[in-house]
Structure 1
Amino acid sequence: MAPTPNGGRKPTIRDVATVAGVSHGTVSRVLNGGRWVSPEAREAVEQAIAKTGYTVNRHAQALATGRANSIAFLLTEPQHLLFADPTFSILLRGAAESTAGRGATLVLLVAGNDAERANVAEYVRAGHVDGVLLISSHEADPMLETLVTASIPTVACGIPLGFRGEIPHVSVDEAGSARTMAKYLVRQGHKRIAMITGPHDTPGGRYRLEGFADALGDQFDPALVEEGDYSEESGAAAMRRILDRASDVDAVFAASDLMAAGALVTLRRAGLRVPEDVAVAGFDDSGLAERLDPPLTTMRQPWEQISEEMVTLLQQVVAGGMRKSITLPAELIVRASA
């Protein structure tokens, strides 16, 4: 490494400027996003940073810019679901990688009860984060109104029911994806197709049911629909209730892979074979589906793209850019269960 002008002390922006042959103002602009900096100057600064070993003082940067340089991953569910539901951990990992790639920090916040919601509201209002990635919102969740009222830049994962026009979101085509699965099961020759929905106050619970019913048309039977909470236990219980009412069910579509896993347990205990007696399909493809016995037919959500788009949109909102929403397609993955 070439000698640097800092004499052994911690390098500063002025040291970087000296090595790069530019003004310290140019170095500052590169460090704060690179606006109005030529490609040549940017390259010189980046090389000088590497040569001097300069590291950004994030606290000083925050004071200068008024930004915290961190965003929140806010889960509005009980804490245990962060580990029980694989979809949350996948989104968290993707958001962390995307945030780190932008030189920012991701902060995990959980608001599953009143006390947690109050603490989170105080934390975000205090400016500790620049914005919020809102995960798994429910229609009546007061956290939604808190974020909107406090003008906290927010991007939701899934359509924020009741706040669709106020909070931008990234979502899969919930209804269209459910239609795809329902039509596939019909093409396979199934006549009595049940559904285990998610909570009706969530976008997945509401719109996946709408798409399913729309695709089945006259074949749709409301008596073959039961609600779960996306957990394996709720899927098992919902499948028991369906079998108690209708012994002629020949297929079931669960609105999450975890609920489909629970349905498999109930069907096995009832002496029914999958897929010979009852075909089973899920939604998510978060890694669990291919490990089930039999491997699960499901709708695959583009998890990495969802995380990346959420972080990108949030940064645009924080910067005062256009507030928009994105809808992504899900992919039908056929395996042995259906």
Structure 2
Amino acid sequence: MATMEGTRRRRATVNDVAIEAGVSRGTVSRVLNGQRYVSDDARAAIDAAIAKVGFVPNRAARSLVVQRSQAVGLIVHEPHSLFVEDPNIASILLGANSALSEADYQMACLIADSARDVDRLTHYLSGGLIDGVIVVSARVGDPITRAVRDLGLPAAFVGHPRDLGSAAYAAIDNRNAAREITTRLIGTGRRRVGMIAAALDRDSGADRLAGFVDALGGDFDPSLVQRIPLYSYSDGQAGMRALLERAPDIDGIFASSDAVAAGAMEVLQSSGRSIPGDVGVVGFDDSSWALRCDPPLSTVHQPATELGRAAAESVLRQLAGADPEPIVLECPVVWRASA
């Protein structure tokens, strides 16, 4: 009986293609590397030869020649728990991967949960294993942002930390959107409106709080703002409990994400408050959390998939020689029964 090794077909080489096409190896290499100065007849003969002998280009070898890995890293600077819980991160990832796949690039997903992760990623970025990066949830003064800048990597950020300088980003106008949905909540007749404000070390969290303050103007009461660390369901629960202890007469809540709002609604309903009868609640994201709430959550639509795609396309344009540029997408209010 023949062994597997004995029956395995030999992999076709550039030399096989050259012999079949009747051209030199150098001519085949120029075609494979996208170079000019090859006649149409020679190209046609080489294409036919590739199909006939079953030649598959060795990407690893080609990357050594063109100094490209054909890979882009997507860095998520969030705890592991939030990476699993937050549907926006998944949507950003899918949008980015779709754009990269269409350009024949591979996406490498990298998570920074701790200072050790940040150090490890910084060393990884300097190793030439990826051509560019998409960064999600960067903070002001983020060491990953600094490493990307120092290495001169083509990069695009999802969000807009204030220290990005001229770096490319894809973002929404968090401040105006927060102002708009808070104003609409106030317009339903609420008089004691508070906020559960998450992730204030990021531009998204800080801008949503600023929009809330804008909407309330002279009626803003800082005691009705509860700060929490993350855009998470459990932090929303903890924030709502703290607000109820401090202001049991609260009748409106702007939660800075849908997951936070869902946690707040669970606490309100467990305490005997009806929604929207006793307390109106609004969120931010228009994620799957919004429709899982009962009643369905009024929120701001964040186009997470489109943000991921826009960031990936920005990196690809930079790899092709274009200058970095900002991209700002629309984020309309979606009004439902929770307010």
For 2:219, the equivalent position in structure 1 comes to: 219
For 1:137, the equivalent position in structure 2 comes to: 138
Is the contact made by 1:199 and 1:205 (CA closer than 8 Å) also made in structure 2?
Answer: yes
Give the counterpart letter for 2:73 in structure 1: A
Find the partner of 2:31 among 19, 27, 30.
27
Q: State the SS of the aligned residue for 2:240.
A: helix
For 1:4, the equivalent position in structure 2 comes to: none
TM-score normalised by structure 1 residue count: 0.86
Give the counterpart letter for 1:323 in structure 2: P
Give the counterpart letter for 2:148 in structure 1: L
Percent sequence identity over aligned pairs: 34
For 1:295, the equivalent position in structure 2 comes to: 296
Q: 1:36 to 1:301 in 2, by over 3 A?
A: farther
Deviation at 1:199, TM superposition (A): 2.1
Structure 2 unaligned segments of length 5 or more: list them.
Answer: 1-8
Deviation at 1:309, TM superposition (A): 0.6
CA root-mean-square deviation: 3.1
Q: State the SS of the aligned residue for 2:283.
A: strand
For 2:151, the equivalent position in structure 1 comes to: 150
Structure 1 unaligned segments of length 5 or more: list them.
Answer: 1-6
The 10-residue stretch of structure 1 (206-215 or 45-54) with the greater mean CA deviation from structure 2: 45-54
For 1:271, the equivalent position in structure 2 comes to: 272
The whole-number CA distance in structure 2 between the counterparts of 1:45 and 1:184 is: 65
The whole-number CA distance in structure 1 between the counterparts of 2:251 and 2:44 is: 63
Is the contact made by 1:140 and 1:201 (CA closer than 8 Å) also made in structure 2?
Answer: no
Q: State the SS of the aligned residue for 1:74.
A: strand
Give the counterpart letter for 1:85 in structure 2: D
The whole-number CA distance in structure 2 between the counterparts of 1:265 and 1:44 is: 68
Q: 1:115 to 1:179 in 2, by over 3 A?
A: same
The whole-number CA distance in structure 2 between the counterparts of 1:235 and 1:307 is: 26
The whole-number CA distance in structure 2 between the counterparts of 1:84 and 1:327 is: 25
Q: State the SS of the aligned residue for 1:80.
A: helix
Deviations 1:312-337 (CA, angstroms, capped at 9, x unpaired): 11112233321111111112111221
Q: 1:127 to 1:215 in 2, by over 3 A?
A: same
TM-score normalised by structure 2 residue count: 0.86
For 2:121, the equivalent position in structure 1 comes to: 120
For 2:164, the equivalent position in structure 1 comes to: 164
More RCO (CA 8 Å, sep 6+): 2
The whole-number CA distance in structure 2 between the counterparts of 1:46 and 1:266 is: 65
Is the contact made by 2:17 and 2:46 (CA closer than 8 Å) also made in structure 1?
Answer: no
Deviations 1:159-214 (CA, angstroms, capped at 9, x unpaired): 123x2214321111111111121121122222222111122210111111111211
Is the contact made by 1:160 and 1:169 (CA closer than 8 Å) also made in structure 2?
Answer: no
The whole-number CA distance in structure 2 between the counterparts of 1:187 and 1:40 is: 72
The whole-number CA distance in structure 2 between the counterparts of 1:39 and 1:284 is: 52
Q: 1:1-338 counterparts in 2 under 5 A?
A: 10=12, 12=14, 15=17, 24=28, 27-28=31-32, 30=34, 53-161=54-162, 163-228=163-228, 229-338=230-339
Deviation at 1:298, TM superposition (A): 0.9
Is the contact made by 1:10 and 1:54 (CA closer than 8 Å) also made in structure 2?
Answer: yes
Give the counterpart letter for 1:28 in structure 2: L
For 2:4, the equivalent position in structure 1 comes to: none
